[in-house]
């Protein structure tokens, strides 16, 4: 069932204009400033659309249509977890899209959805509907553990990896937690897949880059399969420090 593939062209659906919100929510910026791997408890709705919803969903549809092998992927044996994730996500958003289970998962929410399952003492990526990757390639990460997924992310070291695994192991069905990150780029594209071998550094000072990119990451444990559902809601905004350039 593994579908995520190589590096086909994105020319047919290249994002030509920024898709932005007016600002990254202050609460999200505050969460992004907290050290890894701190998580916050969440009550109430956990998949909340923002002003970029329509444009992001249209881009997702183009990506799914043009190159499903690059944005959808799963390993054998993940089918039940995917179906359960579709049930949970559609119940939250109220959307009932058509397609394969992974296509429905992608179309049911503005967020990207990754599923992780405990195997041999570590949580591995078993499936994902990932239209807006930030510097990683789905096909390289499927079936990998969290520490391997985060290569080459400098802040994610062995000590952080152990703490993340403990938190995942202690996450109970019904609990919802979240965190956020904040990155600065000169590239406004939401689909920013990069292989591990590609350069990840950008020239210039981070504070001078034109775009803020923030991921609101929400986690919960699915009650039947026991998989961790990891939702990634990506927001882009102009950097105030970079002015109107």
User: With 70 as the cut, is the pLDDT of residue 5 above it?
Assistant: no
pLDDT bucket at 149, cuts 50 / 70 / 90: confident
R_g (Cα) of the chain, nearest Å: 17
> Is 16 part of any domain?
no
**DSSP H helical segments within 34-157, as ranges?**
53-66, 68-71, 79-93, 101-107, 138-141, 146-149
- Number of domains forming the structure of the chain: 1
Residue 35 contacts residue 43 (beta carbons within 8 Å): no
> Is 25 part of any domain?
no
> Is 99 part of any domain?
yes
Average pLDDT estimate for 120-125: 93
> Is 20 part of any domain?
no
> Is 104 part of any domain?
yes
Task: Give kind and range of the element (H or E) at residue 115.
Answer: strand 112-119
Residue 7 contacts residue 138 (beta carbons within 8 Å): no
In the block, which residue shows the tokens 């923030």? 214
pLDDT at 156: 59
> Is 3 part of any domain?
no
Average pLDDT estimate for 96-109: 98
pLDDT at 8: 43
> Is 236 part of any domain?
yes
pLDDT at 154: 58
Domain that holds residue 74: 30-196+211-242
* Average pLDDT, rounded, for the chain: 90
Three-state DSSP at 206 gives: helix
Q: Which of 218, 219, 221 is nearest to 173 (CA)?
A: 221
pLDDT bucket at 121, cuts 50 / 70 / 90: confident
Q: What is the pTM of this model?
A: 0.90
> Is 23 part of any domain?
no
Three-state DSSP at 98 gives: coil
pLDDT bucket at 164, cuts 50 / 70 / 90: confident
pLDDT by residue (tens digit) across 40-72? 999 999 999 999 999 999 999 999 999 999 999
Query: Between the CA of residue 76 and those of 80, 96, 142, what are the distances in Å?
Result: 10, 25, 11
Task: Give kind and range of the element (H or E) at residue 52.
Answer: none
User: With 60 as the cut, is the pLDDT of residue 26 above it?
Assistant: yes
């Amino acid at each position: 069932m593994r579908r995520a593939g190589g590096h086909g062209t994105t020319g047919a659906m290249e994002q030509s204009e920024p898709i932005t919100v007016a600002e990254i929510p202050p609460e999200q910026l505050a969460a992004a400033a907290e050290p890894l791997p701190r998580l916050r408890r969440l009550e109430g709705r956990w998949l909340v659309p923002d002003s970029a919803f329509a444009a992001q969903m249209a881009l997702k549809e183009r990506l799914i249509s043009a190159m499903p092998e690059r944005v959808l992927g799963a390993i054998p044996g993940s089918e039940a977890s995917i179906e359960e994730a579709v049930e949970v996500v559609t119940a939250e958003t109220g959307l009932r899209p058509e397609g394969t289970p992974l296509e429905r998962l992608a179309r049911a929410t503005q967020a990207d959805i990754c599923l992780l399952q405990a195997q041999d003492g570590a949580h591995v990526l078993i499936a994902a509907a990932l239209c807006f990757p930030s510097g990683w390639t789905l096909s390289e990460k499927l079936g990998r553990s969290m520490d391997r997924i985060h290569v080459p992310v400098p802040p994610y070291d062995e000590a952080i990896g152990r703490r993340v695994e403990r938190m995942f192991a202690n996450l109970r069905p019904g609990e919802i937690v979240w965190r956020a990150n904040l990155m600065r780029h000169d590239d406004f594209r939401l689909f920013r897949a990069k292989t591990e071998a590609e350069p990840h550094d950008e020239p210039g000072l981070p504070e001078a880059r034109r775009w803020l990119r923030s991921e609101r990451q929400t986690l919960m444990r699915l009650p039947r399969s026991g998989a961790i559902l990891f939702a990634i809601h990506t927001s882009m905004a102009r950097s105030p420090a970079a002015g109107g350039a």
